[in-house]
């Protein structure tokens, strides 16, 4: 992303008045499919509305975004709630992903086509959740522009061999956008947890 993009997102989060916002109903509806423990990465997660929800559920969450202002909003909200939240300032288009292994990687409304690279950072049995509008969204909405949209039907083909689809929906969904929504799981068993008495 360019410096202009960083400046634009910083301004947007300043105008938000320090409120990270509520998590998307799309994400909260996935609650039964998502882990409640382990490490989670919210990639390009802005002011942390989803990262905070994941932390409330018991996950050890890292929020990565280009906007220091957005990350500051998330840190302040986490502190008010007594939640642990790590933040990492990075340009997701240029910088490497924060190292895993992750039990969950979340990518909401950020166009990321390197999903095979994301899969490499997942723990065996870890989940990837991607939600993003497709080109058909332009039939009703001018933004985002075609440059920032998935092609219709493109998302499952980006997964590579390491991931298996758990759930996939695409179409005009309840929030009024034409979206692709994917939950995928890295192949392989999750490591067993042993307890000592």
pLDDT per position as a tens digit, 69-78: 999 999 999 9
pLDDT band at residue 44, thresholds of 50, 70 and 90? very high
Burial grade of 68 (CB within 10 A; 0-12, 13-18, 19 or more): middle
Strand, helix or coil at 98? Answer: coil
Look at 190 and 78; give whichever has higher pLDDT: 78
DSSP code of residue 163: E
18: pLDDT strictly greater than 90: no
Strand, helix or coil at 81? Answer: helix
Q: Can you list the domains of the chain with their CATH numbers?
A: 1-14+35-186 (3.40.50.150)
Look at 14 and 31; give whichever has higher pLDDT: 31
> What pLDDT is stored for residue 14 in this prediction?
80
Omega cis (within 30) before 7: no
Burial grade of 176 (CB within 10 A; 0-12, 13-18, 19 or more): exposed
Question: What is the per-residue pLDDT across 71-112, written as a single tens digit (0 to 9) for each?
Answer: 999 999 999 999 999 999 999 888 888 988 999 999 999 999
> What pLDDT is stored for residue 1 in this prediction?
54
What's the CA gap between 11 and 102, in Å, rounded?
Answer: 30
What's the CA gap between 78 and 84, in Å, rounded?
Answer: 7
């Amino acid at each position: 992303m360019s410096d202009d993009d960083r400046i634009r997102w910083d301004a947007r989060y300043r105008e938000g008045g320090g409120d990270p916002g509520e998590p998307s109903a799309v994400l909260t509806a996935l609650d039964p499919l998502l882990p409640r423990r382990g490490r989670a990465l919210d990639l390009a997660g802005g002011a942390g509305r989803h990262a905070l929800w994941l932390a409330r559920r018991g996950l050890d969450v890292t929020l990565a975004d280009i906007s220091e202002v957005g990350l500051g909003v998330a840190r302040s909200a986490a502190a008010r709630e007594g939640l642990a939240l790590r933040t990492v300032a990075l340009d997701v288009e240029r910088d490497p992903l924060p190292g895993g292994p992750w039990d969950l990687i979340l990518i909401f409304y950020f166009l990321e086509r390197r999903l095979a690279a994301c899969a490499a950072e997942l723990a065996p049995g870890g989940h990837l959740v991607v939600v993003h509008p497709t080109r058909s969204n332009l039939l009703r909405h001018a933004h985002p522009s075609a440059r920032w949209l998935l092609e219709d039907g493109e998302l499952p083909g980006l997964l590579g061999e390491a991931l298996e689809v758990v759930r996939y929906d695409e179409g005009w969904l309840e929030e009024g956008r034409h979206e692709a929504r994917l939950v995928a799981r890295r192949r392989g068993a999750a490591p067993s947890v042993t307890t000592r008495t």
